[in-house]
Amino acid sequence: MNVHFSPTSRTKGTVLGIFAGALLTSAAWHGLAAQTSMSASAAPAGSTPPTHVASGARESYADVVDTVLPSVVTVRVEARAHVSPTQFPPADDNFFGHLFGNQPRQGSRGVPQMPRLPRQRALGSGVIVSNDGYILTNNHVVDGAEEVNVDLADGRALTARIIGTDKPSDLALLKVDGSTFKPIAVGNSDAVKVGDVVLAVGNPLNVGQTVTMGIISAKGRSSGVGDGSYEDFLQTDAPINHGNSGGALVNTRGELVGINSQILSESGGNIGIGFAIPSNMAKRVMDGLRTTGRVARAQLGVTIQRVTPEIGSSLGMKDVRGAIISSVSAGSAAERGGLKQGDVILTFNGSLVGDTNALRNQVAETKPGSAVDVGILRDGQEKHVSIKLDEVGREQTARGGDVPEGRPVDGALGVAVAPTAKGLVVESVDPDGRAADAGIRTGDMILEANRHAVKSIDELKSALHTASNVPTLLLISRDGSQTYVTVKPAAKAQG
């Protein structure tokens, strides 16, 4: 990212302002000292003068910083710029030649050559994790790199090789040759608690190695930025800026608890919302990249969504928890194990399912081929099924059928729908209707209403009538995936 510095005059003005303030403070101090001296000389004999000296006790993380700094590096990346075809005229377009009286540079066979593309430079940070020179950083720091160089805290500048990258977790493993490396101690990120003090170490905006302090603000965050496939971020208010990516987030014992990865900001600068990849996740990814060059992850083969209070009410759940299955991939581990659309996953291998992101990470971190116990809620009854997990492969998506002609209207819901072999396709939505409030769009396919398949207007109306006092649970297909939405009950007429 390009860094735009403030104008020099503004910078000088700021420095001068601080310096002037220091002079005033000094003058004020001398005046106070003179007054104190006069007061002391005029004080009665035997009286005790006021004390202005600190006790000498010091609260500092200097020892922690001294331990951590040698393990944090600056990562410098060079790559060719990506140029769209419209950035330069086509080979036979001699507009610039006519305008300036010159001709395009000719190749060896008389074919005009494109201008040489500029090189892009990127800056990030990294953490030494082994005695033999392995370094963890972010995937987005080295993505597309042609050359990677690492600056160590002791002044050495070394060329690094990319051992492997993992876009889903936004991690990458580098290797430098040499000796006397000082690896960081890797801590247990699961033991981190909200409120713990942490230090962020890296090279923000290329100003040099910098340490900032904050606390753990939250755990288990999903930012939705980037690939976002496997997110379990530690959130911190320790100041993080561009260039900190890939750097260390450490606890007060100097142990690595996170790899700094993202910030949330409208301005592009730090506003106290930063995200770090937990060290336990980073260690698993690092081990996979180091041993096999890839990261093996398990999968169930389902699409899930959060159980909202409305969905829970529609299903008659007393406690709103778990993740509801909106679709099951054909031939997947979930299908073989007997999971069905509409099942609510309550536990995974004995652990409660807090939300969809947590469940996805629990599954991914399990060894492919393992047999796991899945606790579900189906038709109001809790049960357990055993499932042998698959390994993540190519994505499978469900596709809707063809849409025939016809525009029957369901006025109670506020949509115009047409029946198909698979369900009811939404052809228009009343912007003031209940369907619009629920987020239903034109082109959606309504597959179920209150867990019953609907392929006709009458079936849909019957389901809506049956659920007149509670939210209606609709299963819809959109853009090749299926999801549940809830529609509020119709308002009762006032008598």
Q: Is the dihedral of CA 326, 330, 397, 425 positive or negative?
A: negative
How far, CA to CA in Å, does 103 sit from each of 85, 88, 113? 20, 14, 11
* CB-CB contact of 74 with 203 (8 Å): yes
Selected catalytic residue, list 71, 166, 169, 170? 170
* CB-CB contact of 418 with 427 (8 Å): yes
Give the other-Cβ count within 10 Å of 302's Cβ: 24
140 assigned to active site: yes
How far, CA to CA in Å, does 250 sit from each of 173, 185, 261, 312, 438? 19, 9, 14, 40, 43
Q: Cβ neighbours of residue 70 under 8 Å, at least 6 residues apart?
A: 128, 152, 153, 154, 182
* CB-CB contact of 269 with 150 (8 Å): no
**What's at 422, amino acid-wise?**
K
170 assigned to active site: yes
Q: Cβ neighbours of residue 161 under 8 Å, at least 6 residues apart?
A: 148, 174, 175, 176
Give the other-Cβ count within 10 Å of 166's Cβ: 22
Q: Cα–Cα distance between 423 and 325 in angstroms, integer?
A: 18
Selected catalytic residue, list 71, 125, 140, 232? 140
112-139 b/e (C-beta count within 10 Å ≥ 16 → b): beeeeeeeeebbbbbbbbeeebbbbbbb
452 assigned to active site: no
Selected catalytic residue, list 125, 169, 217, 245? 245
**What's at 163, amino acid-wise?**
I
- Compute φ and ψ for 187, nearest 5 degrees: -95, 180
186-224 b/e (C-beta count within 10 Å ≥ 16 → b): bbebeebeeeeebbbbbbbeeeebbbbebebbeeebbee
How far, CA to CA in Å, does 489 sit from each of 73, 255, 469? 58, 53, 6
Reference 103, options 87, 119, 92; nearest CA is: 92
The residues facing 16 across adjacent strands are none
Catalytically annotated residues: 140, 170, 245
